[in-house]
Amino acid sequence: MATTLLTLGDDLTQLTLAPELGASLVNWSRRSDGRPLLRHSDDLALAAGNPRRLACYPLLPWSNRIGGGGFDTPAGWLALEANTEHEALPIHGSAWQQPWQVVNVTSDSARLQLHSQHPFPYHADLQVRLDAGRLQLSLQATHAGNQPTWYGLGLHPYLPRNTHTQLQVQANGVWLSDENKLSSRWIELPEVWNFDAPTALPAQVVDHAFSGWPGHARIIQHDDGYQLLCEAQGTEVFLLFCPQDQPFFCFEPVSHPVNAHHLPGRPGLHLLHPGQTCQLTVTLHYQALTN
């Protein structure tokens, strides 16, 4: 069955969305030449119906993996099972695997909503807006259950990568992932992952959560003549995923490190009571590079 797409645009960029596929962004491109600003999604990727093959999708009511078969809440243990065929652990919550409803749409904005019962009742709201090359994504979760529980939020953009792609971002430490890709221990930021100045992406695989992020980053695409300025509110953590020998990487603004439900103090998680909300806003600003 064909997927319904929404198309938004401003003077500089154009965006397509697939509400039925977990509120995923399909393509965001430069109008002047169609250059992808997020990883390009071709017809095969769209036909697969899997948000992990598209350009970006929302993460809630948690980001990344949870170990231990679930997590403890004030009301007791919440058991979780794996939600994909290729991952042994539950990953990225449940919103990305459900169809969202279109509340309203204009030429440069859209509002999508989800009313979910799994793994507990919650409402989600995603507002998308384009303005002069700025893509703003505002994600909100409202707890609809009768008992309080823990929430996390995030966004999972896939970005083009080549040999001259650079990243500039500040952090004070990193949660190292273990063999199960779960955060195991925090260390001060090692020099090899210091991106204070514009730096090429690591050649080796990186898949960790970085802490102490002030919410600003630059993604510089020298070969294509542009940069993306990232501004985030509601998070002090980003996940950096650099797979080896792939033409993409992921820079994910999230509210918490991987497996925060089992880390001391549950860093970055929100304990929401009925009717309470949490929110994350991320803006990616396209700018042409000048010589």
What single-letter DSSP state applies at residue 112? E
H or E element in which residue 9 lies: strand 6-9
Residue at 102: amino acid letter: V
Residue percentage of the chain with pLDDT more than 70: 99
Res 212: pLDDT: 98
Question: Residue 137: CB partners within 8 Å, gap ≥ 6?
Answer: 56, 58, 126, 127, 128, 155, 281, 282, 283
Domains of the chain: 6-161+249-288 (2.70.98.10)
Predicted confidence (pLDDT) per residue in 134-171, tens digit: 999 999 999 999 999 999 999 999 999 999 999 999 99
Predicted confidence (pLDDT) per residue in 262-280, tens digit: 999 999 999 999 999 999 9
Residue 143, both tokens: 């707890």
Assess whether pLDDT exceeds 80 at residue 113: yes
Query: What is the pTM for the complete model shown?
Result: 0.97
Band (pLDDT 50/70/90 cuts) for residue 31 is very high
Residue 101 main-chain phi, psi, to 5 deg: -100, 145
H or E element in which residue 43 lies: helix 43-48
Band (pLDDT 50/70/90 cuts) for residue 1 is low
Res 291: pLDDT: 66
Conformational region of residue 163, where left means phi above 0, alpha means psi within -120 to 50, and beta covers everything else: alpha
CA atoms of 98 and 265, how far apart (whole Å): 30
Band (pLDDT 50/70/90 cuts) for residue 290 is confident
Question: Of 261, 254, 262, which is closest to residue 278 (Cα–Cα)?
Answer: 254
Predicted confidence (pLDDT) per residue in 33-67, tens digit: 999 999 999 999 999 999 999 999 999 999 999 99
Write down the mean pLDDT value for the chain.
97
Q: Is 207 helix (H, G, I), strand (E, B) or coil?
A: strand
- Cα 162 to the chain's mean position, in Å? 21
Asked whether the beta carbons of 161 and 249 are under 8 A apart, the reply is yes
Residue percentage of the chain with pLDDT more than 90: 98
